Amino acid sequence: MEELKFVLVFVLLALASSFASASDPSPLQDFCVAINETDGVFVNGKFCKDPAQVTEKDFFFPGLNTPRDTSGPVGSNVTTVNVAQIAGLNTLGISFARIDYAPNGGLNPPHTHPRASEILVVVEGTLYVGFVTSNLANGDNRLITKVLNPGDVFVFPIGLIHFQFNVGKTNAVAFASLSSQNPGVITIANAVFGADPPIKPDVLAKAFQVDKKIVDYLQKQFWTDNN
């Protein structure tokens, strides 16, 4: 019986550990305002400023009420507010973003956040949003979508490919909160076709089951955009 209890406790601790490591570590003090000084040492996060030198500026970012330019190729603009913009976010496990979408098809293209789940609220316009699951038992990847209007909220689980698309005739705006001070982003098309150095075209042609000329064209497009 004692051995069984030990095994159960071990399993529970292992599960708790896996959950704890699934997001940013919990802070061990009120705050740890980030500084860029490293002295050649790199840590998982940022070094802390002396608390006596912390000011309100370390917790502040202005201007998220200002519309952004959406005239780029995909018709969207993401304004991130993470630890790079607000040093006081260091160790707090959260970040924020404003996303602007052009009318008639503004797109925040398929991408993932490797270190964060995301909760998004629409404040203006109409968005078609969705995410794709990892492989199910039958090997399929399920697409889960919803059309959102102002006031609607949608969640994108950590690490899953997701997108937002403006299906309305007017500008759209959404705000998102993410469960990491530094969620990271991998935009699928840019990463696959614009990687530096490029992925060998033969690899992509076989993976996507298309002619190598198509891969060459796409790599030229994204390599130009990314470099």
Q: What is the pLDDT of residues 40-50, one digit of tens each?
A: 566 667 888 89
Q: What is the pLDDT of residue 41?
A: 62
Of 84, 139, 136, 130, nearest to 111 by C-alpha is: 130
Q: What is the pLDDT of residue 45?
A: 74
Instruction: Please tell me whether 111 is known to bind a ligand.
Output: yes
Going from N- to C-terminal start, the domains of the chain cover 23-184, 189-226
The mean of the pLDDT values for the chain is 88
H-state helical runs in the chain: 2-20, 188-193, 201-208, 212-226
| pLDDT above 60: residue 19 | no
Tell me the average pLDDT across 164-181: 97
What is the structure's pLDDT at 21?
46
Is 70 exceeded by the pLDDT of residue 22? no
What SS3 state is found at 204? helix
Are residues 94 and 179 in contact, defined by beta-carbon separation less than 8 angstroms?
yes
d(CA 75, CA 105): 7
108 is in an annotated binding site: yes
Is the pLDDT higher at 146 or at 222?
146
Bigger pLDDT: 37 vs 126: 126
The helix-helix angle for 201-208 and 212-226 (nearest 10°) equals 120
The fold for domain 23-184 equals Jelly Rolls (2.60.120)
Mean pLDDT of 169-191: 97
Q: Is 162 annotated as a binding residue?
A: yes
Q: What is the mean pLDDT of residues 112-127?
A: 97
Cα dihedral 179, 182, 188, 194 in deg (nearest 10): 180
Question: Contacts by 29-38 with C-beta closer than 8 Å and gap 24+?
Answer: 31/88, 31/90, 31/91, 31/92, 32/90, 32/91, 33/58, 33/59, 33/87, 33/88, 33/90, 34/83, 34/87, 34/88, 34/89, 34/90, 35/87
* % of the chain with per-residue pLDDT over 90: 73
